[in-house]
Amino acid sequence: MSRPDMIKDYQGLAGWSDVGAPVVKSGQLIETNAGWRTLRPVINAEKCVFCLQCYLLCPDGTLVKDSGKLEVDYDYCKGCGICARECGFGAITMEPEED
């Protein structure tokens, strides 16, 4: 799944004009949005059979299969746990976030 570009060091319009207005170039993000996650899904690659059930069910599309094995995009994963619950092989566990 494609990811929107991030604007590093976002300062509104400051870079383009004299005005620091809170606007953003369309289709870009100024920050990731995973701040409220308390548990993170961790994939056990030895148990994963690449059935892609989790990939299909993740409501935020944060499971990435491009490398040939499943990975979680922690920048956007909200920690809902649907992937761990639906995994038929016990390959995903929810582990506490550490500060």
Partner 1 sequence: MEARKEFISGNEAVAIGAMLARPQVVSAYPISPQTIVVEKLAEYVESGLMKNCSYIRVESEHSALAAVLGAVATGARTFTATSSHGLMYMAEVLPFVSGSRFPVVMMNANRALAVPWSIFTDQSDSMMLLNSGWLQVYVEDAQEALDMVIQSYRIAEDPAVMSPIMINLDGFVLTHTYELVDIPAQAQVDKYLPPYKTGNKMSIDQPLGVCIGITPDLNTEFRYRQHVDQLRNAPGVIAGADREFGEVFGRSYGSQGGGLSEKYRCEDAEVVLVTLGSISMTARTVVDKLRDAGRKVGLFKIRFMRPFPMQDLLSLGDQVKVLGVLDKNISPGYEGTVFSQVNSALSRKANPPRTMNYVGGLAGREITTRSLEKIFSEMLGMIRDGKAELPPDPNGRVKFINMRWEDHE
Q: Which residues bind partner 1 (CB under 8 A)?
A: 10-13, 16-27, 30-31, 35
| Residue 36 and residue 78 in contact, taking contact as beta carbons nearer than 8 Å | yes
Smallest distance, Å, CB 35 to partner 1?
8
Question: Cα angle vertex 41, ends 91, 69, to 5°?
Answer: 55
Strand-pair category, 92-96 with 39-43: antiparallel
Pick 21 or 49: Cβ nearer partner 1: 21
CA distance linking residue 87 with residue 90, whole number of Å: 6
Pick 26 or 67: Cβ nearer partner 1: 26
Pick 23 or 51: Cβ nearer partner 1: 23
| Residue 79 and residue 86 in contact, taking contact as beta carbons nearer than 8 Å | no
Smallest distance, Å, CB 14 to partner 1?
8
Smallest distance, Å, CB 6 to partner 1?
13
